[in-house]
Amino acid sequence: MNPEKAAAIAERKMQFLFQLRSRGVRDKAVLEAMEKIDRGAFVTGLFAERAYEDTPLPIACGQTISQPSVVGLMTQALNVTSRDKVLEVGTGSGYQAAILSVLARRVYTTDRHLRLVQEAREVFDTLGITNIIAMTKDGSHGVAEQAPFDRIIVTAAAEDPPGPLLAQLKIGGIMVLPVGQSDAVQSLIRVQRTETGYEYDELRPVRFVPLVEGLGDP
Ligand code: SAH
């Protein structure tokens, strides 16, 4: 690579991390994971050159890759440890799952679109990531055969936290998800399961594509 190109890439990386920090992503492990996982690997075609902007971008199947600062804030709120088994609902491009894979022991991720799951798996392979299991599945029912999970993250908005996901969260576990009507502003919430029930915290307004029942067109 010529020195000019290398310098441009280094500059872009610094800008990317600066934006994350200035929007509240402060956790060192999360920042390191986001430095390691190149968002450019998950955005192809027309929008590839905008991969390092702090903005959501269109991906296949009419879906979006989330805004990096929102990915960072959600990951930070999830407080993942290296022993954790994590479930993600909404694989999309696979970017969020890849970041989780750096922090967690194992990541199960599901999407209702076969094509997105297949493409994400290819990117995981290219990046040498081996602790993500990606499944084509309606994730609103969770993944009962792998439950309970230490952490659950949902990257599509439901009106309320889906009951099966609450049930598949370990006691002491944390779930982060957007809730609210799909065409309005939603709230990002954090749910902690205790011995006796669930505690809810509202984190910030967000906007996600809706959580949709059933499988999508392949
Ligand atoms: N986390 C993704 C962004 C996800 S966009 C990333 O890092 O790129 C939301 C995704 O949720 C879409 O791909 C959509 O197909 C998926 N989705 C919506 N409803 C779903 C459901 N019931 N089960 C699984 N995936 C669902």
Does a structural domain hold residue 215? no
Is the pLDDT at 218 greater than 80? The verdict is: no
Does a structural domain hold residue 217? no
How buried is residue 96: exposed, middle or buried, by Cβ count under 10 Å (0-12/13-18/19+)? Answer: buried
Q: Which residue segment(s) compose the domain that 176 sits in? A: 3-206
Number of domains into which the chain is organized: 1
Contact predicate 177/154, CB 8 Å: yes
CATH code for the domain of 27? 3.40.50.150
By C-alpha distance, which of 58, 143, 69 is closest to 92? 58
C-alpha distance from residue 174 to each of 29, 51, 166, 169 (Å): 18, 29, 10, 7
Residue 113 CB less than 6 A away from ligand 1: yes
Considering only CA atoms, which residue is closest to atom 24 of ligand 1?
A: 111
Atom of ligand 1 nearest to the CA of 88: 1
Residue 155 CB less than 6 A away from ligand 1: yes
Does a structural domain hold residue 216? no
Is the pLDDT at 13 greater than 90? The verdict is: no
Residue 207 CB less than 6 A away from ligand 1: no
List of E strands, the chain? 57-58, 64-65, 85-89, 106-111, 132-136, 149-154, 169-179, 186-193, 198-206
Q: Which residue has the higher pLDDT, 116 or 5?
A: 116
Does a structural domain hold residue 214? no
Average pLDDT over every residue of 196-207: 96
Considering only CA atoms, which residue is closest to atom 18 of ligand 1?
A: 211
Residue 158 CB less than 6 A away from ligand 1: no
Average pLDDT over every residue of 179-203: 93
Does a structural domain hold residue 59? yes
pTM of the model: 0.96
- pLDDT of 138 reads 97
Q: Coil, helix or strand for 82? A: coil
Does a structural domain hold residue 78? yes
For residue range 37-76, what is the model confidence (pLDDT) as tens digits? Answer: 999 999 988 898 899 999 999 999 999 999 999 999 999 9
N-to-C CA span, the chain: 38
Q: In the Cβ-directed half-sphere of 187, how many Cα atoms lie within 13 Å?
A: 10
Does a structural domain hold residue 29? yes
Does a structural domain hold residue 218? no
Residue 99 CB less than 6 A away from ligand 1: no
Considering only CA atoms, which residue is closest to atom 11 of ligand 1?
A: 90
- pLDDT of 203 reads 96
Considering only CA atoms, which residue is closest to atom 14 of ligand 1?
A: 90
Q: Coil, helix or strand for 158? A: strand
- pLDDT of 105 reads 98
d(CA 83, CA 103): 9
Residue with tokens 């002491």: 172
Residue 177 CB less than 6 A away from ligand 1: no
Query: In what helix (H) or strand (E) does residue 116 lie, and over which residues does it extend?
Result: helix 114-127
For residue range 130-184, what is the model confidence (pLDDT) as tens digits? Answer: 999 999 999 999 999 999 999 999 999 999 999 999 999 999 999 999 999 877 8
Catalytic residues: 66
CA of 4 to the centre of ligand 1 (A): 37
